[in-house]
Chain A
Amino acid sequence: MTLPHVGVILHAEVSSSITAAAAAANEVETGGLLLGWWEAGNIVARYAIEVADPDATTSSWTRDEERAQQALEGALFDLSHPWLGYIGDWHTHPARCGPSNQDEDSIRQASRGYEQPLLLLVHRADDQIEARVAHQGYIRTLTLHQFLAN
């Protein structure tokens, strides 16, 4: 089966928020939700919000449904943007490595619950951000477009 290619449009604010959170978290992983929308075959990531994981370690961060849903609803209220909603996850790696097999498994698993593809961003120790897209349980190829400003 040939899976369609997915475009990812990343707003500058997403990268800067994730980079700032990575710096603040120091040696422990942190992560959160990506907020945005889907348009014409693209995933548009507009904001990244942090969701605390009190059990995060130097090698793991876990999205907890209750805390994440609360954070999502709070952000949607504050941002008051009619197109925004959950479109994926992000987390940081204190090491210089991109998405692990476990990361890909988790976003694939999560994507089974949505009609549209989900995006995973992983911030590496060298400030590079790597992306994965999963759609209904499968990893898809992607093209990343970065927006410098609003």
Chain B
Amino acid sequence: MMATLATQFREALSAIEPGDDAKHAQDAHKQVSKVLEADEKLRKLGVAPLLIGSYKRHVSIRRVKDVDVFARLTEADSSLRPGAILDHVTEVLDKAFPGCVERQHRSVKVDFPDYDLSVDVVIARPCGDHWEIPQKIEADGRASWVETNPTKMTELTTEANKQFLLYDDDEDSGVYVPVVKLVRQVRRTWVDDQRGGYYFEVLTYHAFQDKQLNEKTIAAYLTLVLRWIADTLPELVDDGPADPTLPDKTIKTKATVDQIKAAADRFAEAAELAEEALAEEDSCRAAVMWRNLLGVTKNTEQSEYVFPLPDYCNADGTTKYSSTLMKGAPAVPAGRGRYA
């Protein structure tokens, strides 16, 4: 029988949960939103900040280093010059968070040193049913705009987590979100490039949809998704995966062709290791392989293994032996035991 190590996977998922970062992210988002909403000029443009990104979709993992705020300018029209508005947003935020604000090419970054995270504010104007954000801002403040629909990915994530369940009779056993988190952790462990979490999240989404996965364990889901990514990534080097939120668009990445090829090679190695671990019948040997696959927590004070070894395993994958150990009883006491 294959070793599925369900308990250890649950603990691994718990080890990569954002923890305190979640509270900090929420608070930082609220503080920034409040400042933007209080500004008269932005109010006239119908500012409506919205939390987006992996944190909002509940797929972020330890540590959360940045939070994305989508500053929708609901009353803005095509005459809006993003350069000038971003300058204004920078000024407004700098008054509220002196010394912590940095104007970036397409966004404004606010650092929260006490939380060791930052908030990226991206402005957006309406475009039909969805939104546009500046793609490239020229020196005169004009810009080319690119369509985006960040709220759609949140909806798709929720739907996928309802569709793919670990236990058919338990609607709370959604497996899509946990697997996205594990894929993100594998990427952090196996691929040097630290950007591009969303790219691999989208690949995971396509893997679930394309294969219509229906497995009984997290281990099996993770293995099949890694294999799908490893096999598909080389085909996406030029165009990127289809954008699930916008028809006929693809996901772009700043990674070079060589970097994507290198990532594909690493994912092939990771998929092979996962397949070996899944097929392994010895729990301890399998656990060591899963531990190597998922690596250690990143950007934390102390790096800790994400995947815990079972109590009965040594670090080298052998089973612990103790002549003084007696396993717990296979049966409860007979009759009834009343406690009061």
Contact flag A100-B11 (CB < 8 Å), given A39-B325, A83-B311, A86-B330: no
Complex contact B328–A150 (CB within 8 A): no
Contacts of A113 in B (CB 8 A): 333-334
Complex contact B312–A83 (CB within 8 A): yes
Contacts of B324 in A (CB 8 A): 39-41
**Size bracket, chain B contacts:** 20 to 34
Q: Which of B2-10, B41-49, B87-95 contacts A (4 or more CB under 8 A)?
A: B2-10
**Which residues 200-236 of B have a CB within 8 angstroms of A?**
none
Contact flag A33-B332 (CB < 8 Å), given A80-B6, A81-B312, A83-B327: yes
Complex contact A65–B335 (CB within 8 A): yes
Interface flag for A37 (CB, 8 Å): yes
Contacts of B326 in A (CB 8 A): 37-39, 116
Contacts of B333 in A (CB 8 A): 63, 65, 109-110, 113
Query: Given the complex of chains A and B, what is the CA–CA distance between A84 and B328 in angstroms?
Result: 5
**Which residues 305-324 of B have a CB within 8 angstroms of A?**
308, 310-312, 322, 324
Complex contact B340–A86 (CB within 8 A): no
Complex contact A68–B332 (CB within 8 A): yes
Query: Given the complex of chains A and B, what is the CA–CA distance between A85 and B326 in angstroms?
Result: 10
What's the nearest-Cβ distance from chain B to residue A64, in Å? 6
Interface flag for B338 (CB, 8 Å): yes
Cβ 8 A contact of B340, one of A79, A83, A103: A103
What's the nearest-Cβ distance from chain B to residue A33, in Å? 7
Q: Which of A18-26, A54-62, A136-144 contacts B (4 or more CB under 8 A)?
A: A54-62
Query: Given the complex of chains A and B, what is the CA–CA distance between A24 and B7 in angstroms?
Result: 22
Complex contact B339–A89 (CB within 8 A): yes
Contacts of B327 in A (CB 8 A): 37, 82-85
Contact flag A62-B328 (CB < 8 Å), given A80-B6, A81-B311, A150-B11: no
Query: Given the complex of chains A and B, what is the CA–CA distance between A87 and B331 in angstroms?
Result: 10
Interface flag for A2 (CB, 8 Å): no
Query: Given the complex of chains A and B, what is the CA–CA distance between A150 and B329 in angstroms?
Result: 22
What's the nearest-Cβ distance from chain B to residue A112, in Å? 9
Contacts of B118 in A (CB 8 A): none
Highest count of chain B CB atoms <10 Å: which of A80, A86, A120: A80
A72 closest partner in B (C-beta): B332
Interface flag for B128 (CB, 8 Å): no
Query: Given the complex of chains A and B, what is the CA–CA distance between A63 and B335 in angstroms?
Result: 8
What's the nearest-Cβ distance from chain A to residue B206, in Å? 31
Complex contact B340–A102 (CB within 8 A): yes
Contact flag A79-B7 (CB < 8 Å), given A39-B326, A84-B327, A85-B328: yes
Contacts of B11 in A (CB 8 A): 150
Complex contact A62–B312 (CB within 8 A): no
Query: Given the complex of chains A and B, what is the CA–CA distance between A120 and B325 in angstroms?
Result: 20
Query: Given the complex of chains A and B, what is the CA–CA distance between A89 and B283 in angstroms?
Result: 28
Complex contact A63–B337 (CB within 8 A): yes
Contacts of A89 in B (CB 8 A): 337, 339
Interface flag for B336 (CB, 8 Å): yes
Per-residue contact bits, chain B 31-53, to A (CB 8 Å; 1 contact, 0 not): 00000000000000000000000
Complex contact B340–A60 (CB within 8 A): yes
Query: Given the complex of chains A and B, what is the CA–CA distance between A91 and B3 in angstroms?
Result: 33
Contact flag A80-B5 (CB < 8 Å), given A37-B328, A65-B332, A85-B329: yes
Per-residue contact bits, chain A 92-107, to B (CB 8 Å; 1 contact, 0 not): 0000000010110011
Contacts of A124 in B (CB 8 A): none
Contact flag A102-B339 (CB < 8 Å), given A82-B312, A150-B11: yes
What's the nearest-Cβ distance from chain A to residue B122, in Å? 39
Contacts of A126 in B (CB 8 A): none
Residue contacts A-B, CB under 8 angstroms, 13 given = A31-B339, A37-B328, A40-B325, A41-B324, A60-B338, A60-B339, A63-B332, A63-B338, A72-B332, A79-B7, A83-B312, A83-B328, A150-B11
Task: Give me the interface of A with B, judged by CB distance under 8 Å.
Answer: 29, 31, 33, 35-41, 46, 59-65, 68-69, 72, 76, 78-87, 89, 91, 100, 102-103, 106-107, 109-110, 113-114, 116, 120, 122, 150
* Closest 7 A/B residue pairs (Cβ): A85-B328, A110-B333, A40-B324, A63-B337, A68-B332, A60-B340, A86-B329
Given contacts A60-B338, A109-B333, A122-B339, 14 further A-B contacts (CB under 8 A): A29-B339, A41-B324, A62-B338, A65-B335, A72-B330, A80-B7, A81-B7, A81-B311, A83-B312, A86-B328, A86-B332, A87-B328, A89-B337, A102-B340
Task: Give me the interface of B with A, judged by CB distance under 8 Å.
Answer: 3-7, 11, 283, 308, 310-312, 322, 324-340
